[in-house]
Amino acid sequence: MTTLLVIAKEPRPGRVKTRLTPPFTPRQAASLAEASLADTLDAVAAAPAGRRVLVLDGEPGPWLPPGFDVVPQCAGGLDERLADAFARCAGPALLIGMDTPQVTPELLTVDFTGCDAWFGPAEDGGFWALGLARPDPALLRGVPMSTAATGAVQRDRLVAAGLRVRDLPRLRDVDTAADAHAVAALAPDGRFAGRLAGCAAKAVAGGTAGRSGEGEPGPVAGARAVTAPASRAAGPR
């Protein structure tokens, strides 16, 4: 069966979702990142897989559900880290990031029969998912990451290698506050949407969220787990 890979950063203030600051504080941005990661991991946990792996920059926290192997990211650029994640897999693998909390188990249930690769384009020009029937790290190394052309270059690389590529729906990454609100609207019952609503309410209610941690959100570990509806459409650059 397919190995499902999630590549992520430990959600610590100042290290994740820095483009959310402002309007959110670094602690709020990290809390939103944690909620996004938790929703993503829940979707992966609910999808069929032979193995589930979190490829992590940092340390796991209470947001990690059972059933995942945790491996460290290697050094180097994002292309090297993605390539290394695939290098750890002996069979079919699908990799996603932590930036699409609207993702569903249905979207992650891919069949490689009749194809060699699955590609999930992102609205910002990157890609939120990449699946390979026969993982080959060389397919990722050297692809320019975090540009408006990343997705096109990566897909062209697959086609040039002679792979039969199938496309997943185009989804929106959470990078900016506008992204956050748009994505939360697609999955209103998830942890991410609930955490975003809390952060926005704190910011509106007197601006307390900007004062030395006052009004900051707490961890999402104890939040109610919600399975998102399959109709949600929507993460790595």
Residues across the chain: 237
Q: Residue 55: enclosing H or E segment and its boundaries?
A: strand 51-57
Low-confidence ranges of the chain (pLDDT < 70): 203-237
Q: With the C-alpha atoms ordered 158, 160, 165, 169, is the resulting torsion angle positive or negative?
A: positive
User: Is residue 3 within a helix (H) or strand (E), and if so which, with residue range?
Assistant: strand 3-9
- Residues 149-207 have pLDDT tens digits of 999 999 999 999 999 999 999 999 999 999 999 999 999 999 999 999 999 887 666 45
Three-state SS at 134: coil
Buried b (16+ CB within 10 A) or exposed e, 161-177: eebeeeebeebbbbbeb
CA distances from 132 to 163, 178, 188 (A): 9, 32, 31
Res 200: pLDDT: 87
pLDDT for position 213:
41
Environment class of 137 (CB within 10 Å of its CB; exposed 0-12, middle 13-18, buried 19+): middle
Closest C-alpha to 155, from 123, 121, 124:
121
The pLDDT of residue 201 = 86
Beta-sheet pairing, 127-132 with 117-121? antiparallel
Residue type, 155: R
pLDDT at 205: 67
